[in-house]
Amino acid sequence: PAHAGVFQLIAKAKCHFTNGTKKVRFVVRYIYNREQLMHFDSDVGLYVGDTPYGEKVARYYNSKPERLEYNRGIVDTYCRRNYEVFAPFSVDR
């Protein structure tokens, strides 16, 4: 009740590595007040809604080809490029 007026919007991005850099997946989750609204998965290549409102926002984002192309390209420009940085903390565990 003390925090009833607090709203939280979070976007969490992760790179998933399988077999080194042979299989790389980029996932972004959009969370509002501890509920996942939608997510982008580079394997799917589209935004996917996880709630009714998230489906509406995902349709809007999927209608923007430049946004989709940018997120699809992050696998190469961010994940694979920074593999040597990520590996000691995520892969080697």
pLDDT digits (tens, 9 = 90+) for 18-40: 877 788 899 999 999 889 999 99
Residue 57, in any domain of the structure: yes
Number of domains forming the structure of the chain: 1
At residue 44, does pLDDT exceed 90?
yes
At residue 10, does pLDDT exceed 90?
yes
Q: What is the CATH number of the domain that holds 19?
A: 3.10.320.10
Q: Which residues form the domain of 14? A: 9-89
Q: How far is CA 1 from CA 4, 9, 10, 34, 90, in A?
A: 5, 19, 21, 16, 38
For residue 4, the model assigns a pLDDT of: 66
At residue 70, does pLDDT exceed 60?
yes
For residue 56, the model assigns a pLDDT of: 97
Residue 4, in any domain of the structure: no
d(CA 50, CA 4): 24
The model's confidence at residue 92, banded by pLDDT at 50, 70 and 90, is low
Residue 3, in any domain of the structure: no
